[in-house]
């Protein structure tokens, strides 16, 4: 079974719009990471946020973490067609195990 | 630096056979983790090896095994293949919290 749930399961937006996806997890974590996967290929690491951080930015990405609600969100601003992919959150527990969410499929149309 | 490589990229096997997948981590990375990705179960953690020792293990039957060599290369083996073992098998190497994924091996069991 997977650690968390992601919402929405799928998202379709137009280029230039922002995309927001949410992730919830179940156990205490050391950090939470977001990954991108293009069409059944390997995962690409996007950003890591530690349990003592609340917000982090990287380029067009903004991640928030609320440990009291055991949830995180990923915002992609000014989306591009190349952002079309599946996005996964992954929480790292105290044993160092990475538990992935179910993923959000994002489609960005020109 | 070269990325994580996995061989073979595609594989078709018959029920009851066994299979060995290989993963070469990024140079200098001592941790290698394996994941199974299926449409129904998503990304599930199989096991992690660090310095030739299994450090973490997921909830998979004993038919799934792995090992790591002194050069950090890792192999995973699945014996007595079942139809449900059809999946994308991803390997990731790390030197800290961030994991770098290979392109995966697509295994189809017929």
**pLDDT tens readout for residues A41-76:** 889 999 999 999 999 999 999 999 999 999 999 999
Please tell me which residue of chain A has the smallest CA distance to B88.
Answer: A40
pLDDT at A3: 53
What is the Cα B63 distance to its own chain's centre?
13
A45:B99 CB<8 A:
yes
Cβ within 8 Å of A, B 9-28: none
Phi and psi angles of residue A83, each rounded to the nearest 5 degrees, phi first: -80, -5
How is residue B84 annotated by DSSP?
G
For chain A, percent of residues with pLDDT exceeding 90: 75
Q: What is the mean pLDDT of chain B?
A: 95
Chain A residues with CB-CB distance to B48 below 8 A: 96-97
Residue A17 half-sphere exposure, CB side, CA atoms within 13 Å?
Answer: 13
Closest residue by Cα to residue A100 from A39, A35, A28, A48:
A35
pLDDT at B54: 95
Given pLDDT bands bounded at 50, 70 and 90, which one contains residue A96? Answer: confident
pLDDT at A6: 84
Closest residue by Cα to residue A13 from A100, A87, A102:
A87
List of residues 6+ apart from B37 with CB closer than 8 A: B43, B44, B87, B88, B89, B90, B104
Give kind and range of the element (H or E) at residue A23. strand A19-24
Question: Which residue in B35, B97, B103, B107 has the most chain A C-beta atoms within 10 A of its own C-beta, making it the best mutation to test that interface?
Answer: B97
pLDDT at B100: 92
For chain B, percent of residues with pLDDT exceeding 70: 99
- Of the two residues A105 and A92, the one the predictor is more confident about is A105
Least confident window among A9-18, A96-105, B40-49, B54-63? A96-105
- Look at residue A2 and tell me whether its pLDDT is greater than 60: no
In this complex, the residue of A41, A45, A100 whose CB is nearest that of residue B98 is A45
pLDDT at A4: 65
pLDDT at B48: 95
Chain B residues with CB-CB distance to A85 below 8 A: none
Least confident window among A20-29, A48-57, B14-23? A20-29
């Amino acid at each position: 079974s997977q650690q968390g749930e992601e919402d929405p399961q799928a998202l379709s937006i137009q280029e230039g719009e922002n995309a927001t996806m949410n992730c919830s997890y179940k156990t205490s974590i050391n950090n939470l990471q977001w990954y991108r996967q293009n069409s059944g290929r390997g995962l690409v690491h996007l950003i890591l946020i530690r349990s003592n951080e609340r917000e982090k930015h990287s380029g067009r990405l903004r991640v928030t973490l609320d440990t009291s609600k055991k949830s995180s969100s990923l915002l992609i601003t000014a989306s591009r067609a190349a952002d079309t992919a599946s996005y996964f959150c992954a929480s790292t527990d105290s044993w160092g195990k990475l538990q992935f969410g179910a993923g959000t499929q994002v489609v960005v149309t020109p | 630096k070269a990325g994580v490589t996995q061989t073979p990229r595609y594989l078709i096997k018959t029920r009851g056979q066994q299979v060995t997948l290989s993963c070469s981590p990024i140079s200098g990375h001592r941790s290698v983790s394996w994941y199974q990705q299926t449409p129904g179960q998503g990304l599930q953690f199989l096991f992690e090896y660090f310095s030739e020792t299994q450090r973490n293990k997921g909830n998979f039957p004993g038919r799934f095994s792995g090992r790591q060599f002194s050069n950090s290369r890792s192999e995973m083996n699945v014996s007595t293949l079942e139809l449900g073992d059809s999946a994308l098998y991803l390997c990731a190497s790390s030197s800290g919290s961030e994991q770098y994924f290979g392109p995966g091996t697509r295994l189809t069991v017929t």
